[in-house]
Chain A
């Protein structure tokens, strides 16, 4: 079955970076875009960007454009999200999700499978 398994919780100080992994199984890793979405404590969902695992092409939400980097290693079916220059308001659970493209709708996707989430805590 389709599965996305993320790395464990992380604690960082303000100004540091964090890198979260997302390992897929049960489907062809290069056949689906991987998206990253975060959720601050008690808050809603916020889309951060996607990576095309086949080509490595990425697309980021403008808010994160200068701080987030999505990469992948196709040999181990794993995607990575690195967020730099962390601030306290980056404290959140970070999810990876498999994107299903909506036909004839450009870059519109929905998410049919999610990782379990990784809590990133930014605190001095």
Chain B
């Protein structure tokens, strides 16, 4: 049912930079709705990582950054660490409902 498409997996060595894409359409991201990102560690609830495209909640390291352009958004993790190994989801809105991405598993090599 997901209408936001993410790559199933990305990987990188410790210290490297990885990016996760989130592709939507003119009905959601392209309509101007913000994109938010969540990190989900195994067996736990999602945690808000980025809100309103590029804003970090208090306590989230500045290694995480977000951007949005057109009908897509991206999450970048710089200085990859072992603790970043998790599932990541983007989230937006439209039409008339909240939508999540398909999810991306980040593996630290």
Contacts and interface: CB of A to CB of B under 8 A. Distances in A.
Contacts of A115: 45
Interface residues on chain A, size class: 20 to 34
B30 to A, nearest CB: 14
A115 B46 CA distance: 9
B105 to A, nearest CB: 11
- Report which residue of B45, B48, B101 has the largest number of chain A beta carbons within 10 angstroms of its beta carbon: B45
Contacts, number: 68
A105 interface: yes
Given A45-B89, A114-B47, A116-B45, A102 B100 contact: no
A72 to B, nearest CB: 19
Which 7 pairs, one residue from A and one from B, show the smallest C-beta to C-beta distance? A108-B93, A114-B45, A47-B98, A110-B36, A45-B100, A44-B103, A110-B51
Interface of B: 1-2, 32-34, 36, 38, 44-48, 51-52, 57, 89, 91-94, 96-103
Interface of A: 35, 37, 44-47, 61-63, 95, 100, 102, 105-117
18 contacts: A44-B103, A45-B38, A45-B103, A46-B100, A47-B99, A62-B97, A102-B93, A106-B93, A107-B93, A108-B33, A108-B34, A109-B93, A110-B48, A110-B52, A111-B36, A111-B46, A114-B45, A116-B45
